[in-house]
Amino acid sequence: MRVFDLRAPAVPEPRVEFVQGDVRDIGRLTAAMRGADVVFHLAQVVGRERMPPEIVHGVNGGGTANAVRAAREAGVLRFVLRSSADVYGDATVVAREDAEPLRPTDQFAAAKLEGEAHCMRAHREAGLESVVLRLSWVVGTRETDAWLRPMLWALRHRRPIVTGGDGRRRVHLTAMSDCVAAFARAATVPGIGGEVFNVAGVDTPALADLIEHLRCRLGSSSPVWRVPEASAARVLRGLARVRLIPLLPEQVQLLYADRVLDTTKARTRLGWSARLSAVDAVLEAIAPPGARE
């Protein structure tokens, strides 16, 4: 296994060869891919972290174009892209892979959609077996969506949890371990080149129910403070404008929309199903290292 990344891992893995580089450097990318049968393209810059637009586009769009080109030149057989459910926009209905039209609401989602287009074009024109996985909100030890981090911190420290609205919004969380299993299937199942798959968790609990279950499982006494949705949205947009939260003002609306993905195609074509519920995904993410399987 070979890893290409901007920074070396804090703890080297003896069985993994590390190559330092930037996805915008196609020469180093191509060299790193030589001899590989499968490439997992995971590199991304998240626009809601306030990165300049040219960097977000250069990495998520242009970087994916470079990776696809490098894979073709290096003779890679299969290319698996990490995309995002954000390409569906702020839809409040169950999203399927064939949903039209797609409505990305920010620069991150737009660049992700552009990256998908590069993959599909390479499949059609050059025969590269490209597979796209659209991930819902991922919960993991080193990766948890920005909106969820304050809630987890409050639960662990028994501080108040502030939510906007009545808590009926459904959340579709995905455990990192389930994502890994989906990528493994995407790399090995034959005959799926040129296809797109949704990857999301077992259940879609209402936010209020998720919080209550986590409070019980963690033995947390954190009180829940509910703020009217309109008031909360105004405050969050103000905080976003002055960069006190990792969101753009136009992204606040996504916090109050259902985000539910239809994973039927992943079950039938990939043979993949999520293993963990939303509650168990969160508990797995915050468990001490020795407590994880």
Check residue 244 and give its pLDDT: 66
Q: Which two tokens stand for residue 181?
A: 């299993």
CB-based contact 240:249 (threshold 8 Å):
yes
Check residue 21 and give its pLDDT: 93
Helical spans, DSSP H, in the chain: 26-33, 53-57, 63-74, 107-126, 149-157, 176-188, 207-218, 229-241, 264-265, 278-286
Structural domains counted in the chain: 1
Confidence of residue 98 (pLDDT cuts 50, 70, 90): confident
Q: What is the pLDDT of residues 3-60, one digit of tens each?
A: 999 888 888 888 999 999 999 999 999 999 999 999 999 998 875 556 777 888 888 8
Paired sense of beta strands 38-41 and 78-84, if any? parallel
- Residues 118-147 have a mean pLDDT of 88
**For residue 20, what are the CA distances in angstroms to 42, 83, 122, 202?**
15, 23, 25, 36
Residue 242 pLDDT > 80: no
Domain hosting residue 260, numbered range: 2-291
Residue 64 pLDDT > 80: yes
Residue 264 pLDDT > 80: yes
Q: What is the pLDDT of residues 195-237, one digit of tens each?
A: 999 999 999 999 899 999 999 999 989 998 888 878 877 877 7
CB-based contact 116:197 (threshold 8 Å):
no
Q: Above pLDDT 90, what percent of the chain?
A: 49
Q: What is the pLDDT of residues 106-125, one digit of tens each?
A: 888 889 999 999 999 999 99
Residue 147: which CATH number? 3.40.50.720
CB-based contact 82:135 (threshold 8 Å):
yes
Q: What is the mean pLDDT of the chain?
A: 86
Look at 151-160, 198-207, 284-293 and tell me which has the smallest mean pLDDT: 284-293
Q: Which two tokens stand for residue 87?
A: 């390409």
Q: What is the pLDDT of residues 77-88, one digit of tens each?
A: 999 999 998 898
Residue 256 pLDDT > 70: no
CB-based contact 182:199 (threshold 8 Å):
yes
Residue 250 pLDDT > 80: no
Check residue 142 and give its pLDDT: 67
